[in-house]
């Protein structure tokens, strides 16, 4: 969907309805809700926005503003981790500048919720989300799953182990981006699930037969070019590559029950009391916004009843590890371990 179409579509949704559907309708539903059912946003609202998805989040904000002309939205932009640390500092100083924090990773969300800065969310809002993504003090917006993109001419599916830990001892040439934040969150999950000793050994093993890239799009492109056999990357990099090059020699494999198939999420926290911050979050969980991010960013809608991107295995068929995603905020030990091994 083009940016102009999305802006006009979200802004005009429901404009031709004879009678407003009313907020009560949204309150009684689980799953996706159209913006037609949502109340107008009026007043001042300050959002701290972690940069993400090449400006697509900005498109969402512009569409919400266009639909709600009485909303005075102020946005502070920056890296999610840096903004989380700013919120911590402001909270400790007794200063409140942000009403909402939209982060591209749950580690940053954990930094904020751990200090008690997040306000509880109403049950009807969290009930819209998939059951395993319902949290009382923050709302996931969209998800991304860790995957193993592999070159279809160099590797057969049966050569790929179901355990990510087994890749350290394989003969496959591996592409990775250890300096990339998503990879570091993945290693943090491995530390939590497998322990520091096993993670350290894994990093050493992978390092012996790997090629480094600056980012995970580079990993997927390297896989497709045949520079490596397989790589580590969030799912959407492969889907984006294949959307522009349908015959690309790359496909997705998934591990089972470990950090290799971790489902992480972008998320939002309400930092102020009242209806306005919560109702803003409702817009992010609307059918229109969730569908837009699935189509354009290839992110996974976490609201029930919204179709996920094509080319990705259904979440119901995957077996991600069970863990509180906020624990991914424990990043410092991960960085120390990676530096000790020499991969950073």
Q: What pLDDT digit, counting tens, does each position of 202-219 carry?
A: 999 999 999 999 999 999
* pTM (2 d.p.): 0.86
> Residue 187 and residue 256: Cα distance in Å, rounded?
16
Q: Is the pLDDT assigned to residue 19 strictly greater than 60? A: no
Helix, coil or strand: residue 122: coil
Mean pLDDT of 16-23: 29
Element (H, E) at 108: helix 106-113
> Residue 312 and residue 154: Cα distance in Å, rounded?
21
Among 285, 301, 306, 304, residue whose Cα is nearest residue 60: 285
Mean pLDDT of 45-67: 88
Q: What's the CATH number of domain 3-143+264-317, 3.20.20.70, 3.20.20.300, 3.40.50.10490, 3.40.190.10?
A: 3.40.190.10
- Whether residue 48 is annotated as binding a ligand: the answer is no
Do 266 and 103 touch, CB atoms closer than 8 A? yes
Mean pLDDT of the chain: 89
- Whether residue 135 is annotated as binding a ligand: the answer is no
The architecture of the domain spanning 145-262+319-341 is 3-Layer(aba) Sandwich (3.40)
Among 87, 129, 82, residue whose Cα is nearest residue 105: 82
Residues 6+ apart with CB under 8 A from 89: none
Q: Are strands 300-301 and 139-151 parallel, antiparallel or unpaired?
A: antiparallel
Q: Is the pLDDT assigned to residue 297 strictly greater than 60? A: yes
| CATH 3.40.190.10-classified regions of the chain | 3-143+264-317, 145-262+319-341
Among 137, 138, 125, residue whose Cα is nearest residue 285: 125
> Residue 70 and residue 11: Cα distance in Å, rounded?
13
């Amino acid at each position: 969907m083009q940016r102009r179409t999305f802006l006009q579509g979200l802004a005009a949704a429901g404009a031709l309805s004879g009678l407003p559907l009313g907020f009560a309708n949204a309150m009684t539903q689980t799953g996706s809700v159209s913006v037609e059912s949502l109340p107008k946003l009026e007043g001042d609202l300050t959002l701290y926005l972690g940069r993400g998805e090449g400006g697509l989040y900005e498109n969402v904000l512009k569409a919400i503003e266009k639909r709600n002309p009485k909303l005075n939205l102020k946005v502070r932009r920056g890296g999610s981790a840096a903004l989380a640390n700013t919120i911590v500092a402001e909270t400790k100083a007794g200063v409140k500048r942000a009403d909402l924090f939209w982060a591209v990773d749950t580690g940053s969300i954990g930094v904020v919720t751990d200090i008690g800065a997040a306000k509880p969310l109403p049950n009807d809002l969290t009930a819209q989300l998939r059951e395993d993504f319902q949290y009382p003090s923050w709302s996931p917006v969209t998800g991304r799953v860790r995957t193993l993109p592999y070159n279809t001419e160099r590797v057969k599916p049966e050569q790929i182990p179901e355990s990510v830990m087994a890749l350290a001892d394989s003969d496959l040439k591996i592409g990775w981006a250890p300096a990339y934040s998503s990879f570091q969150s993945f290693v943090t999950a491995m530390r939590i699930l497998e322990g520091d000793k096993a993670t350290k050994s894994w990093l050493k093993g992978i390092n012996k037969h790997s090629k480094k890239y600056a980012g995970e799009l580079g990993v997927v492109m390297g896989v497709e070019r045949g520079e490596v056999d397989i790589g580590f990357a969030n799912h959407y990099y492969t889907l984006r590559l294949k959307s522009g090059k349908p015959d690309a020699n790359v496909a997705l494999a998934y591990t089972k029950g470990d950090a290799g198939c971790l489902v992480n999420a972008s998320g939002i926290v309400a930092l102020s009391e009242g209806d306005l911050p919560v109702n803003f979050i409702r817009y992010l969980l609307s059918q229109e916004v969730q569908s837009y991010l699935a189509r354009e960013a290839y992110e996974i809608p976490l609201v029930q009843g919204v179709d996920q991107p094509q080319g990705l295995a259904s979440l119901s068929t995957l077996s991600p590890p069970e863990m509180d995603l906020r624990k991914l905020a424990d990043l410092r030990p991960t960085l120390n371990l990676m530096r000790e091994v020499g991969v950073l």
